[in-house]
Amino acid sequence: MHELTELFGGQIRVESQLGKGTCFTLTFSLPVAEAPSLKLEPNVPEASSPASSNDLTILVVDDVQTNCMVAEIILKKLGHNSLSVHSGKDAISLLSTRDDIDLVLMDLQMPELDGYETTRLLRESGFNKPIIALSANAQKDVDQACYQAGMSGYVAKPIGVEDLSAVLADIDLDKPTQATA
C-alpha cells in the first residue's frame, strides 16, 4: 500500500490505539479531469402499454430533484404529462387546488411528511385518485404498509420504464381509492 501511495505522489498515515482501532489516512493528488457532459434523457424505448395512450397528468412527489427529473423523462416517453413537487406539504397544497391530476407517484421517504403520512392526509381530505408509492426499500412489509395507507400500487427505485409502465397499465383510474386502516 505504501509503494502504491508513493507511486501517486501521496502519503499514508497510520494511527492506532489499543482497544479503539486503527485509522489509515491516504493523501494524494490526482489531475483534474474535465467532467463529462451529462445526458439527462435516458435511452428508453417508447412503450406501447394501454396506459401509454391515456395521456395522463401525473404528479411526481419526491424530495430529490434528480428522482423527479428521471420520473418525468420516463413518463414523457410513456406519453404522459407530468409535474413535480418536492415535499408532502407541497403535494397536499397543489392537490387541494387542482382537479386535473390523474395519478400521483409518491416517494415514501421524505423529510417532514413522508409518503405514508402524506397519502393518509390526502385520503382524509377526500383525494381518491390513484397514488403509487416509490421507494428503494423493496421489502414485503413496505408493500403492505403502502396499501394500508391508501396507495394503489408500488414501484421500486430505481424506476424502470417497464416496471412503471406495468403498474400504470394495472391501475383502474375509474375506481376511487381510500385508506384501508
Dihedral sign of CA atoms 163, 166, 169, 174 in order: negative
On whether both 113 and 65 belong to a single domain, the answer is yes
**Residue 150 covered by a domain:** yes
Based on the structure, what is the number of domains in the chain? 2
**Residue 177 covered by a domain:** no
* Residue 41 phi, psi dihedral angles, 5° rounding: -100, 110
- The C-alpha cell that represents 2 in the structure block: 505504501
Q: What is the pLDDT of residues 145-154, one digit of tens each?
A: 888 888 988 8
Q: What is the pLDDT of residues 137-172, one digit of tens each?
A: 766 677 788 888 889 888 888 888 888 888 888 887
Domain residues for the domain of 114 are 50-170
On whether both 91 and 151 belong to a single domain, the answer is yes
Task: Please state the pTM of the whole predicted model.
Answer: 0.68
How many whole angstroms separate alpha carbon 107 and alpha carbon 114? 8
Looking at the chain, the whole-number percentage of residues with pLDDT higher than 70 is 74
**Residue 155 covered by a domain:** yes
144-147: which pairs have CB atoms within 8 A and are 24 or more residues apart?
A: 145/116, 146/108, 146/116, 147/180
